């Protein structure tokens, strides 16, 4: 993941890019290759300077626009082409006291940066929808929700377990900056599948255990990791989808005959194990 800050003044702008040095060890001529992946609404790069500072590679650049920037500007970021396919870049652009923040990855390479305070509705719909979409792309997350629904023995169990799981996802946010390694999207997806397989194993091999009531929320810390680098509304949007999906799975599990639970857990264990193996083998 990398971070950028663009400050616009009239027809000029200053830009700072920060990226972990280990992510660009394979990049030829990073002093130009990185900045070449950014394009700003008719701007021309006039100066640039890059250097390694501790564990980061930092670039500073100046831009000149062919027109005056007023309330908004278009930005494009394709850093994933020279770093890794799952690279994420968070760009903050400001003009005076007003600023906007966008997240770029392989699926989102262009965005409009608006220089006015976004309304609450704009923030909720933009970031919340992006977080919900990110969750919908994770099969590992849905497998875990299905297994967690299967864990609940009654309605009280289901509510407490679900609420504790959602809370745990928020708890990991302040801890994520202290994780010393970068976690790729593929690695996190494999990890989510592994949590689903583990919990399904609990149902199969320890059917009378009460530990899963505490294990399931604890695994929520892992499920919060894919959203920890993003603005809080990303996780809020993702949790809206989680609540709906978990409710459906829990209702289905509580209404099914008790004798069906072990076969259902076996099926989920097999699917989760296969999904985990998909990322490990390749």
Q: Alpha helices, DSSP H only, in the chain? A: 30-33, 120-123, 129-136, 139-151, 155-171, 185-205, 212-224, 232-255, 261-281
Which residue is it, tokens 């663009």? Answer: 6
* pLDDT confidence of residue 85: 80
Residues 165, 223 contacting (CB under 8 angstroms):
yes
Q: What is the DSSP string of 9-23?
A: ETTEEEEEEEEEGGG
Q: What angle do CA 52, 53, 57 make, to 5 degrees?
A: 45
* Distance (Å, whole) CA 165 – CA 230: 19
pTM, two decimals, is 0.70
* pLDDT confidence of residue 180: 57
Regions of the chain where pLDDT drops below 50? none
| C-alpha 158: how far from chain center | 26
* pLDDT confidence of residue 118: 67
The residue extents of the domains of the chain are: 2-117, 134-281
Per residue in 124-144, pLDDT (tens digit) is 787 888 889 889 989 999 999
* pLDDT confidence of residue 21: 87
* Distance (Å, whole) CA 123 – CA 200: 37
Per residue in 140-193, pLDDT (tens digit) is 999 999 999 998 888 998 999 999 999 999 998 887 766 655 667 788 899 999
Residues 161, 112 contacting (CB under 8 angstroms):
no
* Distance (Å, whole) CA 229 – CA 60: 23
* pLDDT confidence of residue 117: 65
Whether the CA torsion 78, 83, 85, 87 is positive or negative: it is: negative
* pLDDT confidence of residue 65: 92
* Distance (Å, whole) CA 237 – CA 127: 7
Query: Residue-wise over 180-217: b if at least 16 C-beta within 10 A, else e?
Result: eeebebeebbbbbbbbbbbbbbbbeeeeeeeebeebbb
* Distance (Å, whole) CA 277 – CA 181: 22
* Distance (Å, whole) CA 79 – CA 230: 17
């Amino acid at each position: 993941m990398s971070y950028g800050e663009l400050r616009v003044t009239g027809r000029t702008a200053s830009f700072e890019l920060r990226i972990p040095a280990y992510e660009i060890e394979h990049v030829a001529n990073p002093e130009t290759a990185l900045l070449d992946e950014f394009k700003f609404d008719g701007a021309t790069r006039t100066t640039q300077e890059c250097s390694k500072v501790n564990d980061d590679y930092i670039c500073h650049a100046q831009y000149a626009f062919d027109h005056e920037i007023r309330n908004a500007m278009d930005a494009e970021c394709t850093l994933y082409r020279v770093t890794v396919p799952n690279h994420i870049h968070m760009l903050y652009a400001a003009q005076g006291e007003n600023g906007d923040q966008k997240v770029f990855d392989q699926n989102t390479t262009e965005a409009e940066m608006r220089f006015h305070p976004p309304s609450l509705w704009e923030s909720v719909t933009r970031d919340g929808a992006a977080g919900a979409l990110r969750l919908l792309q994770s099969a590992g997350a849905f497998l875990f929700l299905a297994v967690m629904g299967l864990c609940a023995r009654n309605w009280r169990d289901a509510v407490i377990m679900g609420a504790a799981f959602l809370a745990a996802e928020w708890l990991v946010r302040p801890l994520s900056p202290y994780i010393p390694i970068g976690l790729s999207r593929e690695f996190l997806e494999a990890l989510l599948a592994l949590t689903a397989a583990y919990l399904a194993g609990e149902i199969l091999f320890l059917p009378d255990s009460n530990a899963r009531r505490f294990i399931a929320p604890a695994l929520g810390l892992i499920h919060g990791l894919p959203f920890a680098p993003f603005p809080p509304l990303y996780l809020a949007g993702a949790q809206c989808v989680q609540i709906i999906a978990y409710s459906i799975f829990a209702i289905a599990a509580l209404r099914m005959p008790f004798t069906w639970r072990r076969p259902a857990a076996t099926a989920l264990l097999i699917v989760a194990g296969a999904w985990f193996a998909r990322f490990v083998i390749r």
